[in-house]
A and B are shown apart, each in its own frame.
Chain A
């Protein structure tokens, strides 16, 4: 899984999850690859009922969209991060 986002060729609007049409103008979007650089917008240490805790983050990518990923321990809102795939899952670490 690599980080990617949709861009509308008509109005330029960008968003993260694949859609069939732009929510502003309805045009068919194109899928673009992200460089994976951004700023942490939200972070949670999740404690599952079984297994080890893990970190989930929302990251505001420099591309202008928001992405969800796993995070390295110790991240906080506002930290600059870079995504690398870890076993196919985008994982953000301090940049």
Chain B
């Protein structure tokens, strides 16, 4: 039997922001219904459901819960937890199921009331648990603090200052300004970033993504569709920052696997979506994967390289830094945006020149879990 090619037949992302009144399951179902409609499918036609975790729900079996809500009775259903990489991990899993012939239509979903479903303090405490329970968290470790330590090491090693990361936040905000549903849309400058209140130095408020409510979903099929998943990859080198090898975090390994499957390289990418929980996250990922030379991600942003009409249109919806971050759905929004760009359906945001090759990357924990995908016009 010939190996099936996985296609993305449907995508959907909800508006992100502080939007009280819906549960995590509500956001997942809203996104799933929209993605199914986009694919021209109904829930009973889905034979696998993979649903990312929600910190506000903590349900034991989120995929079964969602499948029942949707009216789906899949042969395969399971939840998945890989931090911020989850959205791309479950896309990769969906592609593998389709390639293997084990499923023909896979629904992949993330959604959470992360902003309004819990207090900011609870959210901070929950997320901090990606740190080591005995040797990191008791020191006062939080996710911003772990990434601030990464930023400190990154800036020191390259002789950079926080002003060299700020243009990444400015570019993401400029993208979001024209994206319907973005959490933060008011334009900002480098000076605004540097003048915002310190969160965990060298990171300031505008170096950090907001916490949002929202959801995103994707339908992966064996049946042909406009966009194909031509490569997927993952890498898992450490859990805790203390054990991280900053010269080999796993991002390049993950991307290389995906590019290798697709027969592509970074130079072929027409539009990209790269995880940007903090400015430094985006800089380190872009540089390790090879989209930017070491230490140049910020200057590339300042020069307009990541603008819609730049050489590498990046996170054209505004990314986590400005479209927002609702957890698993936040990392999936990059995927939805890249597919939308490859379809030529991004309207006022459309990247010029009919992009044909897209790349998406997610990072979970403290640069701990990495997942990548190459998407191409079929």
Contacts and interface: CB of A to CB of B under 8 A. Distances in A.
A44 interface: yes
Nearest to A57: B149
Given A58-B241, A58-B242, A47 B149 contact: no
Choose among B124, B139, B153 the residue with the greatest number of A CB atoms under 10 Å from its CB.
B139
A93 interface: no
B142 A46 contact: yes
A74 B162 CA distance: 18
A12 B150 CA distance: 27
Choose among A1, A56, A78 the residue with the greatest number of B CB atoms under 10 Å from its CB.
A56
A77 B153 contact: yes
Contacts of B152: 42-44, 58, 77
Interface residues of B, number: 32
Contact of B149 (A16, A44, A50): A44
A31 interface: no
B136 A68 contact: yes
B138 to A, nearest CB: 7
B156 to A, nearest CB: 4
For the residues of A in contact with B, the DSSP-based class is strand
A56 B144 CA distance: 11
Contacts of A43: 149, 152
Given A49-B121, A56-B149, A44 B200 contact: yes
Given A66-B242, A68-B241, A42 B153 contact: yes
A57 B242 CA distance: 10
A57 B148 CA distance: 10
Interface in B117-157: 120-121, 124, 132, 134-136, 138-142, 144-145, 148-153, 156
Contacts of B144: 46
A9 B290 CA distance: 37
Contacts of B201: 44-47
Given A68-B141, A77-B153, A45 B135 contact: no
Interface of A: 1, 15-17, 41-50, 54, 56-58, 66-70, 77-78, 89-90
24 contacts: A15-B243, A16-B243, A17-B135, A42-B156, A44-B149, A44-B200, A44-B203, A45-B200, A45-B201, A46-B140, A46-B142, A46-B200, A47-B198, A47-B199, A48-B140, A49-B120, A49-B121, A56-B200, A58-B149, A58-B152, A58-B241, A70-B139, A78-B156, A89-B139
